[in-house]
Structure 1
Amino acid sequence: MENTGQNSPLGNHTTLVEFILIGFSDLPKLQGLLFGVFLILYIFILMGNSLIIVITKVDPSLQTPMYFFLRNFSFLEICYVSVTLPRLLADLWRQYGNISFLACAIQMYFFLILADTECFILTAMAYDRYVAICNPLLYPVIMNNKLCIQLALICWTTAVPMQIGLLSVIFSSPFCENNQMNHFFCDVPPIVQLICGDTFVIEMLAYVIAAFVVIIPFLLILGSYMKIISTILKLPSATGRTKAFSTCSSHLMVVTLFFGSGIIVYFRPKSTHSSGLDKYFSLMYSILIPVFNPIIYCLRNKDVMVALGKFLQKWIVL
């Protein structure tokens, strides 16, 4: 996250009243098409993830810890994408991406805490799969209702205080006269580029927080899956191995897409840094992952497909 601002700093950063989100204005002929595509994606995200929430709540066969965390994850995806997509749609519609200083700070805060929460929930889901496959006899005892609720609360609340410190440091810094941000929402890398002066402290703080909420959860998930794969390969039945792999494959796909794109944006070396490239990588973890979630968990999960069929049949009869 290097500082590329070439203008002199403002006398007082509070005089900066707004930023300009360039977004996809470099594609003027595609504004209408992009608006239509993102609107369809947003509707699909809302409907698909809402459907998962309803199905996993009402179907008796899906009242397990695995689907409890999936329900949390789907609700998180709705909140997560609603922080950025409505604003992007409004900017595409009016073809002007101005956002106030305060609105930018608020958007960044909620985006960061929801992204952090997603990392934690994906880790909790990996732990659930680890216990289910590596300790199946103790699974009902370990993954009891109390522990599931406690893990969910930890996931939803841990990131809230951490990001307050980062945002206070970022938005108390002096900004340059150039207020144009080559992005479609207020994220850390493009904002830091607009800060004048030394950004070393901000970058180090951002890296430390990112390491805590991204690298550590990713390593925990990786460790869980190493144990899971080792256990699955020892199963004597080919049918058992196939079933065990199928219960993990959906989660593993989401983890790979989300963490992979996030690590590329936040931990890529400065020598290869490009705000324009970051913008397109951000599409992956901010919009496309919430789109893939209902597809992956419905089409690749027989239990969810059966429950969906029963749910739709019930409503069609009504």
Structure 2
Amino acid sequence: MEPANRTRLSEFILLGLSDKPAHQTLLFWIFLPMYLVTLVGNLLIVSAILTDAHLHTPMYFFLCNLSLVDVLFSSTTVPKMLANLHTRSRAIPFAGCLAQMYTFHLFGTMDSFLLAVMAIDRFVAIVYPLRYSTIMSPRVCGLLVGIPWTVTNVQSIVHTTLMARLTFCAGAEIPHFFCDLMPLLKLSCSDTRLNELVVFVFGLFMGFSPLLCIVISYVCIFRAVFKIPSAQGKWKAFSTCGSHLTVVSLFYGTIFAVYLQPASASSAQKDKAAALMCGVVIPMLNPFIYSLRNRDMKAALRKLAMTVLPSHA
């Protein structure tokens, strides 16, 4: 029989980024514009790709998915964080906490898989240019996106189901600005060994397989590019990868930079820094990275603006 103090909590308290009122006001006005830019920028990318027939290619199909996932990923944590900062109320219901955990891991992992899929696309385009349209058929593109969606959903369902069966009796305060796996496990007074094993197995596969795929793709790309005799040909081949390489460097560079800090930096602070960069800053920057140096995307955005905005001529 369980001890009397093992009661199931109905809500958690998110400690957030700061408990000082002045800091909370400042943080609210920092992250609100960033979130709005993320929404507008990524939705513009999605709209431009959907409405411009010239962009109905595998590369832009994957970019459209990435922009949509960035919107959903950012919307998983930022609106609740902004509401808590604005109202000074930091409570989140138990069911809402599980839902936030589910969607964060779904969209966060999907982000990394889409970066891997886009690396594969660039690999085929550069190494097998004459067979590109045959290899990257609509069916293959659908599978390259559909399989990651399935795998990431399975991961999130397993994590959420295992978390829902736990009992929490070590207090309700989560030292984070959203509900995440490890902070929740630390609050549980149940046996969490199975949860921790599943976190390790999924983390190993979901964390390293996209990165390994990206590294292998770019090793093959660099080998193929260096065989091109002309400097102009090399530059043209590399230019098609520039935006993707920038985003990959930001995404994985942030993770490595945060978690390779000295041990003096607390685990909670590292988790917050990584979540803010990957879930707030990078989704905001992606539309600029993919549009500023891309003539086709800039042309599609101009066409979209001319269609939406009334002419004053």
> Matches of 1:13 and 1:261 in 2, distance apart?
39
2:211 is aligned, of 194, 218, 230, to: 218
Give 1:114 shift: 1.3
Would you say 1:23 and 2:8 are equivalent positions?
no
Contact 2:170/2:188 (<8 A) preserved: no
CA offsets 1:44-100 (integer angstroms, 9 cap, x no match): 111101110111122232221000100111111111111111111110111121111
Percent of matched pairs sharing the same residue: 42
Contact 1:265/1:282 (<8 A) preserved: no
Equivalent residue number for residue 174 of structure 1: 167
Equivalent residue number for residue 257 of structure 1: 250
Would you say 1:160 and 2:153 are equivalent positions?
yes
Would you say 1:137 and 2:105 are equivalent positions?
no
Give 1:167 shift: 2.2
Within 5 Å, give how 1:30-109 maps onto structure 2. Answer: 30-109=23-102
Uncovered stretches (5+) of structure 2, i.e. residues with no partner: none
Over 3 Å counting, the alpha-carbon distance change for 1:291 and 1:168 in structure 2 is same
Contact 2:159/2:199 (<8 A) preserved: yes
Within 5 Å, give how 1:227-306 maps onto structure 2. Answer: 227-262=220-255, 273-306=266-299
TM-score, normalization by structure 1: 0.89
Equivalent residue number for residue 107 of structure 2: 114
SS in 2 for 1:158: helix
Letter in 2 for 1:258: F
Give 1:182 shift: 1.2
Uncovered stretches (5+) of structure 1, i.e. residues with no partner: 1-8
> Matches of 2:254 and 2:9 in 1, distance apart?
31
CA offsets 1:215-256 (integer angstroms, 9 cap, x no match): 111101111011111111221222221122121121122222
> Matches of 2:214 and 2:145 in 1, distance apart?
16
CA offsets 1:168-215 (integer angstroms, 9 cap, x no match): 223322323321111111111221222236544322211210121121
Contact 1:49/1:75 (<8 A) preserved: yes
Letter in 1 for 2:147: I
Letter in 2 for 1:101: F
> Matches of 2:27 and 2:242 in 1, distance apart?
31
Give 1:127 shift: 0.6
Letter in 1 for 2:269: G
1:201 is aligned, of 184, 194, 200, to: 194
Over 3 Å counting, the alpha-carbon distance change for 1:276 and 1:252 in structure 2 is same
